[in-house]
Structure 1
Amino acid sequence: MFRFAQPEYLYLLIIVPILWGLFIYGRYRSRRNLAKYGNPSVLAPLMTDVSKYKPWIKFIIQQLAFIVIVFMLARPQFGSKLETVKKQGVEIMIALDVSNSMMAKDIAPNRLEKAKMMLSKLVDELDNDKIGLIVFAGDAYTQLPITSDFVSAKMFLNTINPNMVPTQGTAIGRAISTAMNSFTPNEGVDKAIIVITDAENHEDDAVQMAKAAAEKNIKVDVIGIGSLEGVPIPTGNSENNFIKDRDGNVVISKLNESLGQEIAKAGTGIYVRADNTNSALRALTSEVKKMKKADIESKVYSQYDEQFQGLAWIALLLLIVDVFIVDRKNSWLKKITFFS
C-alpha cells in the first residue's frame, strides 16, 4: 500500500503555477525593456552570446527539482507488513436511493447530492468502525463491501449517480436484504442499516424486510429526503425539462414520510427527515454513537518503508545540471552550423 506520511507538504505544489506566472511575466518585462533601446531584430546580432532557450531550460529544471523535493518532504512510503488488528467499533451498511426522483431539487442542491454530503460527514465521524455502501433503484447493488477503509468509502460516494442502476424504481426491501447479507459473521458487534431515500417504494415489501433485519438484531434507520409538497424531477441538462408520465403530465415527486416511518419502526430504528440543515446528520451521528462497540478485525499495514531516497537523488541530479547550465550560449556549440 502506498501513502504519504506527511501529505500536508503537498500543498506547497500550489507555488508552482505562481512561479510560472512570475517567470513568464519577467520574460515579458525583459523583452519590453529591450525594445526601449531599439528593434529587437536589429539588436540581436549585437548580443550573440544571449541564448533564447537556456533561461527556459534552467527554469524548467528548477521547477522539476522543486516538485521532486516537495514529494520528498511528503515522505512517500510503501506498506511492507500487513497485520490483522482488533479495534472496538460497529458495522454500518448504507443503502442509498439513486432513483431518478433523487435528482429533485426541493433540497439544495438536490436530494442525491445532499445525501452524499451528509454521508461524507458521517464517515468523518466514524473511528474504528466498518462501513459498506449499497445503491438501489429498481434493484440493489453492493457498491462497496463492508470495510474500515474510509478513504475508499468517500471516493465511491463521489462517483454515485442515477445511471449506476439500469432499472428504475425504488426497491427499498431489496436494498435492506442485500445489506443484511453484507455484514461480517461477528455476532458481538452492533450492526445497523441506514436507508436514505424519498421512500417512493413501488417494488417490494420494505416493512417486512425491515422486520426480518430486526429479528437478526440489525437495526434499520431511515433518513427521509425530500419535501411533503413535492417537486418535478429534472431530466437532461435543461432546468425546464421534467420527467412526464404517459399522458404527458409532469411527474411530482413527494417524500413518502409515512412509509419511511413504518420501515424504521419495523426495523427498531429511528426515522429522521433531512432538510437544508444538519439536523438529520446530528440525529444519525447520535444513534451511531449509542451503538455497542465490540472487537472488529481489520487488515492494516503496520510497517512502512521510506521511499524518499530515490527522490533525493533525482533532485540532487537536477540541481547539479542546473548549476552547469548558464544563460549565455556555449562558445563551442555556437560554432556548429547544422543548416547552411
Structure 2
Amino acid sequence: MFRFENIYWLIALALVPVLVALYMLLVRWKKRAAQKVGDPALVKVLTGNFSHQKFLLKFVLGAFALAALVLAAANPQLKGESGEQNRKGLDVLLLMDVSKSMLAQDIKPNRLERSRQLMSLLIDQLSENRIGMVWFAGRAYLQMPLSSDASAAKMYLQNAGPDAVPTQGTVIGEALRLAGATFDSKEQKYKAVVLVSDGEDHDPEALEVVKDLAASGVMINTVGVGSPEGATIFDPATNDTKRDASGNTVVSKLNEAQLRELAQAGNGVYVYLQDAAAAARTIRAQLAGVEQKELEDESFVQYNSYFFIPLVLVLLVLLAEIFISERKKRLHEA
C-alpha cells in the first residue's frame, strides 16, 4: 500500500501552475520590451547571445525541483511488515449519552462520571479490539474512529460532557445510525455497540435503527445509568437545578424499558450500571461470545519511507540547472 505520511504538504504543488503562469507573463513582458526598442536588427544584436530554449529548460528543471521537494516533504511511503501478527478482535463502538440529564446525582458522583468510569474500564479490558467513540445528546458526533489506540481513547474520554455536544436531548436513534455508518458495511459480523445512557427521551426511531443494525451483523448492548425514581439535574450554567418552561423543577428518570428493548432487538445484553467494574465484566463476557476476526490497525503497521528519492532528484536537477547557461553555444566554443 502506497501513501504519503504528510499528505497536507501536497497542497504546495499548487505553486507549480502559479510558477508556469509567472513564466508566461515574464515571456510576454520580454516580448513587449523588445517591441518597444523598435529596431528589430538592434534587438537581434542585443539578444543574439540569449537562448530561449535553454531559458525554458532551466525553468522546467526549477519547477520539477520544486514539485520533487514537495513530494519529499510529504514523505512517500510503502507498507512494510505489521508490528503484530495473528491479532484477533472485534470492532466495538462505545456510544455515550452526554446530555445534561447525565449530570443527575441519583448515582454518585453523577451519571456522567459513573459512565466515564465504565468507559475507562471497557477501554482497558477491550484493548485487543478496535474501539471507536460516539458522544450524543441532541446530536450525535463521532469522537474517535475505530482504532487500537487506547491512550487516544482515554484522552477523548476526559472531554466527554454536555459541552461536547451543544444541542441538548437524547437522540439514541441518530447515535446508532452514526455507529452503523462507521462500521465496514461489507462485513456481516465482528461488530458490536455498547450504548450508555439514561434513555430519558423516548426515541421512536431507535428501535428501527437497531433492527437494521442487527440485520447487518451488529450486536447492540445497552447500559442504563440512573434510577427509576429519578433525580433533579444541577445545571452548571445557571448554578441551579434545571427547570422547565413553566418554572417547575425537572426530574430525570432512567428509562429502562427502552434500553432493555433495544438490547433484546440487537441480540445483546442490558446492564444496569451500579458497579462499574461488574458492568464492564458483563459487557466483556458478552462480547467474548462474538466471532472475532484478524485485525489490522494503522498503529501496528510499519511503513518504509522513501523521501530521499525525490530529494536526490532535487539535488541532481539543481546541479544540472546550475551548469546550463542561458547563452547560445557559439561554434568556436564547441
Distance, in Å, in 2 between the alignment partners of 1:170 and 1:267 is 19
Which stretch shifts more, 211-220 or 291-300?
Answer: 291-300
Q: Structure 1 residue 297 and structure 2 residue 303: aligned?
A: no
Distance, in Å, in 1 between the alignment partners of 2:113 and 2:186 is 33
Question: In the TM superposition, what is the alpha-carbon distance from 1:281 to its structure 2 partner?
Answer: 1.7
Check the 8 A contact 2:189/2:217 in 1, yes or no: no
Q: How does 1:127-138 map to 2 (within 5 A)?
A: 127-138=127-138
Question: In the TM superposition, what is the alpha-carbon distance from 1:202 to its structure 2 partner?
Answer: 4.0
Check the 8 A contact 1:189/1:295 in 2, yes or no: no
> What are the ranges of 5 or more consecutive residues in structure 1 without an aligned counterpart?
2-80, 305-340
Distance, in Å, in 1 between the alignment partners of 2:129 and 2:231 is 37
Question: In the TM superposition, what is the alpha-carbon distance from 1:142 to its structure 2 partner?
Answer: 0.3
- Tell me the alpha carbon deviations over residues 71-126 of structure 1, each in whole angstroms, 9 at most, x when there is no partner: xxxxxxxxxx8644552111100111011000111111111111111111111112
Q: Structure 1 residue 255 and structure 2 residue 279: aligned?
A: no
Check the 8 A contact 2:202/2:258 in 1, yes or no: no
Identity of aligned residues (%): 36
Match of 1:187 in 2: 187
Q: SS in structure 2 opposite 1:109? A: coil
Number of residues paired by the alignment?
225
Question: In the TM superposition, what is the alpha-carbon distance from 1:189 to its structure 2 partner?
Answer: 4.9
Match of 2:221 in 1: 221
Question: In the TM superposition, what is the alpha-carbon distance from 1:292 to its structure 2 partner?
Answer: 1.3
Match of 1:119 in 2: 119
Distance, in Å, in 2 between the alignment partners of 1:266 and 1:301 is 37
Question: In the TM superposition, what is the alpha-carbon distance from 1:291 to its structure 2 partner?
Answer: 1.8
Q: Structure 1 residue 102 and structure 2 residue 102: aligned?
A: yes
Tell me the TM-score normalized by structure 1.
0.62
- Tell me the alpha carbon deviations over residues 130-169 of structure 1, each in whole angstroms, 9 at most, x when there is no partner: 0000000111110001111111011101111111111110
- Tell me the alpha carbon deviations over residues 252-302 of structure 1, each in whole angstroms, 9 at most, x when there is no partner: 000000011111111111111101453322211111222211111112255
- Tell me the alpha carbon deviations over residues 4-32 of structure 1, each in whole angstroms, 9 at most, x when there is no partner: xxxxxxxxxxxxxxxxxxxxxxxxxxxxx
Question: In the TM superposition, what is the alpha-carbon distance from 1:303 to its structure 2 partner?
Answer: 9.3
Match of 1:89 in 2: 89
Match of 2:264 in 1: 265
Distance, in Å, in 2 between the alignment partners of 1:277 and 1:93 is 18
What is the one-letter code of the residue matched to 2:190?
D
Q: Structure 1 residue 243 and structure 2 residue 242: aligned?
A: yes
Match of 1:152 in 2: 152
Check the 8 A contact 1:137/1:167 in 2, yes or no: yes
> What are the ranges of 5 or more consecutive residues in structure 2 without an aligned counterpart?
6-78, 305-334
Check the 8 A contact 2:105/2:111 in 1, yes or no: yes
- Tell me the alpha carbon deviations over residues 298-336 of structure 1, each in whole angstroms, 9 at most, x when there is no partner: 1225599xxxxxxxxxxxxxxxxxxxxxxxxxxxxxxxx
What is the one-letter code of the residue matched to 1:184?
D
Q: SS in structure 2 opposite 1:167? A: coil
**Structure with larger Rg:** 2
Check the 8 A contact 1:89/1:189 in 2, yes or no: no
Distance, in Å, in 1 between the alignment partners of 2:207 and 2:303 is 47
Match of 1:164 in 2: 164
What is the one-letter code of the residue matched to 1:285?
R
Question: In the TM superposition, what is the alpha-carbon distance from 1:217 to its structure 2 partner?
Answer: 0.9
Distance, in Å, in 2 between the alignment partners of 1:303 and 1:181 is 28
Distance, in Å, in 1 between the alignment partners of 2:189 and 2:130 is 10
Check the 8 A contact 2:127/2:150 in 1, yes or no: no
Q: 1:189 to 1:130 in 2, by over 3 A?
A: farther
Check the 8 A contact 1:143/1:156 in 2, yes or no: yes
Distance, in Å, in 1 between the alignment partners of 2:150 and 2:276 is 24
What is the one-letter code of the residue matched to 1:288?
L
Tell me the TM-score normalized by structure 2.
0.63
Q: 1:197 to 1:213 in 2, by over 3 A?
A: same
Q: 1:267 to 1:247 in 2, by over 3 A?
A: same
Q: SS in structure 2 opposite 1:179? A: helix
Check the 8 A contact 2:136/2:171 in 1, yes or no: yes
Match of 2:323 in 1: none
Distance, in Å, in 2 between the alignment partners of 1:277 and 1:179 is 23
Question: In the TM superposition, what is the alpha-carbon distance from 1:127 to its structure 2 partner?
Answer: 3.6
Match of 1:139 in 2: 139
Match of 1:211 in 2: 211
Q: SS in structure 2 opposite 1:269? A: coil
